[in-house]
Structure 1
Amino acid sequence: MEVVEEDSKDLQQQSKALDKLTDHVEDRQLNSLRVQEAMASIAASAEADWNAMKMREKELAAVKINPADVDIIANELELDKKVAERTLREHKGDAVAAIRFLLR
């Protein structure tokens, strides 16, 4: 009887050890799945941001501006012409609004 009892205890210990091992592997698989889902979500978000930025740049490029306004803003406020042009485009070509924005 004593041998059978020892074998039974040994089998129980082995079973518990195996359960712990399989639980650990399952947890790692779930964590890996979560990481993959998070990475996919981040990639989709980054792509959406990129597309939104491209659309915004297209909208700004379509705004008609007066080159003389760019020169005046750049010279009077001592700015780079690219900054003056961008600000003017962001304010839909309104030189007064662009200057007010830059002076804030």
Structure 2
Amino acid sequence: MAACADGELELNAEENCHGRSTDKPRKHDSGAADLEKVTDYAEEKEISASNLESAMSVIGDKRTLEQSAKQEREKELAKVTIKKEDVELIMTEMEISRSTAERSLREHLGNVVEALVSLTE
């Protein structure tokens, strides 16, 4: 038993000098309740063959569109004329491969300054 600041003896070990409970928070008690909350919202759905086929076709269509857009972009970039000296300059200054230097120049329509700035960012 311990003495309180006002001289009274503390009779109950769970109460402090001001009559408040000193229960420590229990760290692991809330875990089970939280887990139940999570599992209450999870619903298992059965995937049917038709749903799977439609999902796969949507994914396939999206990939096809992305690939065609990428091919179009590559065709547009191939049309841009670049100077060999500019490619060499970027390769030596940035210490990058020829293909990366050419790509950067083509993306910036042959502008060396813009290509260099984009490579440093």
- Which residue among 91, 95, 103 is the counterpart of 2:112? 95
Count of residues in correspondence between the two structures:
77
The answer on 1:51 being equivalent to 2:68 is yes
- Which residue among 45, 58, 66 is the counterpart of 1:41? 58
Structure 1, unmatched stretches of 5+, are: 1-27
Structure 2, unmatched stretches of 5+, are: 1-45
TM-score, normalised relative to structure 1: 0.69
Deviation at 1:102, TM superposition (A): 1.0
1:62 matched residue in structure 2? 79
1: distance between equivalents of 2:59 and 2:94? 40
Query: Where in structure 1 do 4 or more consecutive aligned residues deviate above 4 Å?
Result: none
The answer on 1:79 being equivalent to 2:106 is no
1:13 matched residue in structure 2? none
**Max Rg structure:** 2
Deviation at 1:100, TM superposition (A): 0.8
Deviation at 1:91, TM superposition (A): 0.7
1:19 matched residue in structure 2? none
Give the secondary-structure state (helix, strand or coil) at the position aligned to 1:38: helix
1: distance between equivalents of 2:93 and 2:55? 49
Deviation at 1:31, TM superposition (A): 1.3
2: distance between equivalents of 1:60 and 1:37? 35
Q: Which has the higher contact order (CA 8 A, sep 6+)?
A: 1
**Cα distance per residue 1:33-54 (max 9 Å; x no partner):** 1111011111111100110010
Give the secondary-structure state (helix, strand or coil) at the position aligned to 1:65: coil
2: distance between equivalents of 1:62 and 1:98? 17
TM-score, normalised relative to structure 2: 0.60
The answer on 1:32 being equivalent to 2:49 is yes
Q: Which amino acid aligns with 1:65?
A: I
Deviation at 1:67, TM superposition (A): 1.0
